[in-house]
């Protein structure tokens, strides 16, 4: 019985089950630290650099790489969850 539980957890059994949904919710509820990086990464960053454009620093979701910081005249503020995937995030930005 335990082997067939959990579509995303136990090798895609194909069933829609509450155990699977609960495990996914638990993972999303654990707060994770946003990744400090630039807006464009990898090959895109090289293209931006060759065109002489500025590649600003930002914070991204560690799960889906969605930008999760709001910049305003009051400073930077990280949202408490990712709007794209729902991952809970630490909202305190440590200044380096």
Q: What DSSP letter does each residue of 47-90 carry, written as one string?
A: HHHHTT----EEEE-TTT--B-EEEETTEEEE-SB-TTT--BB-
Q: Which residue is listed with tokens 């995030």?
A: 89
Give the mean pLDDT of 32-46: 88
Say if residue 1's pLDDT is above 50: no
Confidence of residue 77 (pLDDT cuts 50, 70, 90): confident
The 8 Å CB, 24+ separation contacts for 26-30 are 28/85, 28/86, 28/87, 28/88, 29/88, 30/88
Q: pLDDT tens-digit profile of 47-61?
A: 989 999 988 888 899
Q: Are residues 62 and 83 in the same domain?
A: yes
Separation of alpha carbons 17 and 29, rounded Å: 19
Paired with 70 in beta bridges are 77
Q: Are residues 17 and 37 in the same domain?
A: no
- Take residue 62 and report the two structure tokens written for it: 């560690």
Q: Are residues 72 and 49 in the same domain?
A: yes
Q: Are residues 18 and 63 in the same domain?
A: no
Q: Torsions phi, psi of 30, nearest 5?
A: -70, 120
pTM given for the model: 0.64
Q: Are residues 49 and 95 in the same domain?
A: yes
Q: Write out the residue range of the structural domain in which residue 52 sits.
A: 31-96
Q: Are residues 51 and 91 in the same domain?
A: yes
Confidence of residue 73 (pLDDT cuts 50, 70, 90): low
Percent with pLDDT over 70 in the chain: 72
Separation of alpha carbons 94 and 96, rounded Å: 6
Say if residue 78's pLDDT is above 70: yes
Name the average pLDDT for the chain. Answer: 77
Q: Are residues 18 and 47 in the same domain?
A: no
Q: Are residues 9 and 43 in the same domain?
A: no
């Amino acid at each position: 019985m335990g082997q067939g539980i959990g579509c995303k957890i136990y090798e895609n059994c194909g069933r829609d089950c509450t155990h699977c949904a609960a495990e996914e919710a638990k993972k999303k509820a654990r707060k994770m630290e946003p990744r400090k990086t630039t807006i464009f990464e990898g090959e895109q960053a090289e293209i931006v650099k060759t065109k002489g454009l500025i590649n600003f620093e930002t914070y991204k979701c560690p799960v889906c790489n969605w930008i999760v910081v709001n910049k305003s005249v009051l400073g930077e503020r990280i949202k408490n969850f990712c709007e794209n995937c729902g991952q809970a995030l630490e909202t305190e930005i440590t200044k380096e």
